[in-house]
């Protein structure tokens, strides 16, 4: 704890032993204390990482709503864990924490009630070659007469839709027969990520970015406004193109390391309050960002991805914690912290990224800190990573993407 305090307050250069590079920039930390309930909590403000400091692996290039940059989990994984120790994310999303931990040789546990999370995460631990993907794609029969059971004409050219439905049927059959392998899972992941987007690299006509699928009605409006009709997109070519982009800078050593971690990895689709499959006192570090009230509509944004993967979107909507009231959100997070305390090793850590809600009117750290302490943790402090674009005088009241700043707010807990 003393080492971490020294790093956060003095913020010296620290040698990154795993990459033989300077891991963190230098700068003067702004330090203050705040009062939350009866607790006095230290706050550390600095630019601890930036998106430029270390180019993230291209394997992270999978879009998902409300995900944080890889530099965030990397900072804590390098600082608070050793190779072979367990890193956990109870709200795994696209798997940013999991992939970054695996790249650093840590063992991983991923959990998310949305089954899409595992579909988007697990394949990146078992990377096929480009040749394997190309060969497999050529074996998949494409029936030009096929159409989806729902109207997707506002998104896709008829031939593109036929290819998507053919691919969907192939993947469903392979999984049902128990024949789905790492190549199939990779193709599923890439196709899921390419369903809709705002460039010719996606299967669809121009629409919103791939982390937010609009409704068919909304897409009709977009088409009319832009005077566009869906053009044919070669799904096989686009899957190969995305595969090449994601893997061309991944070394053989990284592939080996990811597969080694993947063999021992645990993937769960449970309520984060009830993860009996995780052994007590087994996790060294949790790095996570929970659903923030109803800021992101995960089920609505992912309805097309759920359709492609035969996931009941209504069931997903019913299980994801996107409450509209702070009191109900706190009830759920209280259970999450109790479970985190159970599975965390003595001397282990939780880095809980809380963001800002309703333009800073709700600061979730003010609710999270008492919950973590009540569960048995000690609150080490609140760490604010301030990425500067222009000068700003306001520190504690920083609002994301306003006044030339972009921030992450992380509450750090320690299990004594």
Least confident residue range of 105-109, 139-143, 326-330, 376-380: 326-330
Q: List all residues 6 or more positions away from 152 whose beta carbon is below 8 Å from its beta carbon.
A: 161, 164, 216
Query: What does pLDDT average to over the chain?
Result: 86
pLDDT at position 8 is: 74
Domain limits at 206? 130-246
73 and 202 together in one domain? no
Half-sphere exposure for 47 (CA within 13 Å, toward CB): 14
Domain stop point among 198, 226, 246:
246
HEC string for 347-366: EEEEEEECCCECCCCECCHH
Phi and psi angles of residue 183, each rounded to the nearest 5 degrees, phi first? -70, -45
255 and 177 together in one domain? no
135 and 111 together in one domain? no
Indicate the Cα dihedral angle 326, 330, 331, 334, nearest 10°.
180
233 and 260 together in one domain? no
CA distances from 290 to 4, 66, 129, 269, 308 (A): 24, 9, 34, 15, 25
Q: Domain with 364 in it: what CATH number? A: 3.40.50.150
Other C-beta atoms within 10 Å of 275: how many?
Answer: 19
Least confident residue range of 44-48, 107-111, 393-397: 393-397
Instruction: Enter the tokens of residue 92.
Output: 């795994």
255 and 121 together in one domain? yes
70 and 100 together in one domain? yes
Distance CA 176, CA 321 (A): 29
Instruction: Enter the tokens of residue 2.
Output: 């003393």
pLDDT at position 5 is: 74
Summarize pLDDT for 60-102 with one digit per residue, the tens: 988 776 667 888 999 999 999 999 999 999 999 899 999 999 9
pLDDT at position 66 is: 60
Instruction: Enter the tokens of residue 227.
Output: 């005077």
Domain stop point among 246, 275, 290:
246
Instruction: Enter the tokens of residue 299.
Output: 């089920």
pLDDT band for 130, please (50, 70, 90 cuts).
Answer: very high
- Coil, helix or strand at residue 131: helix
228 and 263 together in one domain? no
Q: Is 87 left (phi over 0), alpha (psi -120 to 50) or beta?
A: beta
pLDDT at position 292 is: 76
CA distances from 239 to 130, 169, 183, 245 (A): 10, 17, 12, 10
Q: List all residues 6 or more positions away from 276 whose beta carbon is below 8 Å from its beta carbon.
A: none
Q: Are 196 and 202 in contact (CB under 8 A)?
A: yes
Indicate the Cα dihedral angle 326, 329, 335, 336, nearest 10°.
-120
Summarize pLDDT for 301-316 with one digit per residue, the tens: 889 999 999 998 777 6
193 and 89 together in one domain? no
- Strand pairing class (344-353; 405-414): antiparallel
89 and 160 together in one domain? no
Least confident residue range of 49-53, 161-165, 278-282, 328-332: 49-53
Summarize pLDDT for 346-397 with one digit per residue, the tens: 999 999 998 766 555 678 889 999 999 999 999 999 988 876 543 333 444 4
pLDDT at position 392 is: 37
Distance CA 146, CA 166 (A): 7
- Coil, helix or strand at residue 342: helix
Other C-beta atoms within 10 Å of 412: how many?
Answer: 24
Confidence check: pLDDT of 218 > 70: yes
Q: Are 409 and 353 in contact (CB under 8 A)?
A: yes
Instruction: Enter the tokens of residue 312.
Output: 């009941």
Confidence check: pLDDT of 287 > 60: yes
7 and 97 together in one domain? yes
Q: Are 47 and 26 in contact (CB under 8 A)?
A: no
275 and 256 together in one domain? yes
Q: Where are the beta strands (DSSP E) in 197-343?
A: 266-268, 283-288
Total tally of structural domains belonging to the chain:
2
Q: Measured at the alpha carbon of residue 126, what is the angle toward residues 18 and 91, in degrees to the nearest 5?
A: 75
pLDDT band for 48, please (50, 70, 90 cuts).
Answer: confident
267 and 392 together in one domain? yes
């Amino acid at each position: 704890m003393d080492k971490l305090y020294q790093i956060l307050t003095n913020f010296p250069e620290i040698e990154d032993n795993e990459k033989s590079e300077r891991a963190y920039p230098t700068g003067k930390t702004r330090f203050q204390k705040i009062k939350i309930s009866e607790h006095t909590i230290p706050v550390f403000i600095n630019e601890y990482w930036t998106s430029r400091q270390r180019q993230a692996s291209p394997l992270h290039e999978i879009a998902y709503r409300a995900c944080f940059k890889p530099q965030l989990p990397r900072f804590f994984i390098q600082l608070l864990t050793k190779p072979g120790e367990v890193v956990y994310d109870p709200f795994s999303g696209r798997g940013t924490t999991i992939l970054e931990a695996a790249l650093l040789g840590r063992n991983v546990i991923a959990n998310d009630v949305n089954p899409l999370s595992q579909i988007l995460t697990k394949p990146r631990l078992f990377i096929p070659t480009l040749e394997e993907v190309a060969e497999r794609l050529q074996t998949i029969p494409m029936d030009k007469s096929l159409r989806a059971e729902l109207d997707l004409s506002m998104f896709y050219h008829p031939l593109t839709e036929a290819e998507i439905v053919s691919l969907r049927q192939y993947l469903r059959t392979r999984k049902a027969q128990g024949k789905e392998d790492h190549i199939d899972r990779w193709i599923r992941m890439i196709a899921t990520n390419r369903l809709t987007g705002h460039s010719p690299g996606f299967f669809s006509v121009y629409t919103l970015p791939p982390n937010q699928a609009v409704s068919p009605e909304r897409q009709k409006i977009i088409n009319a406004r832009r005077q566009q009709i869906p053009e044919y997109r070669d799904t096989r070519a686009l899957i190969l193109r995305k595969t090449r982009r994601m893997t061309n800078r991944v070394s053989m050593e990284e592939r080996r390391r990811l597969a080694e971690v993947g063999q021992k990895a645990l993937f769960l689709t449970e309520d984060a309050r009830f993860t009996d499959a995780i052994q007590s006192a087994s996790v060294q570090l949790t790095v996570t960002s929970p659903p923030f009230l109803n800021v992101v509509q995960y089920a609505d944004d992912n309805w097309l991805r759920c359709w492609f993967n035969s996931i009941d979107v209504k069931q997903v909507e019913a299980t994801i914690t996107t409450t509209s009231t702070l009191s109900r959100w706190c009830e759920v997070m209280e259970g999450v912290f109790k479970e985190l305390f159970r599975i965390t090793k003595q001397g282990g850590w939780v880095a809980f990224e809380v963001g800002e809600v309703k333009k800073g009117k709700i600061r979730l750290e003010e609710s999270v800190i008492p919950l973590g302490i009540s569960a048995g943790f000690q609150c080490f402090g609140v760490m604010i990573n301030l990425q500067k674009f222009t000068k700003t005088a306001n520190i504690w009241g920083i609002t994301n993407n306003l006044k030339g700043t972009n921030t992450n707010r992380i509450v750090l807990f320690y299990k004594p």
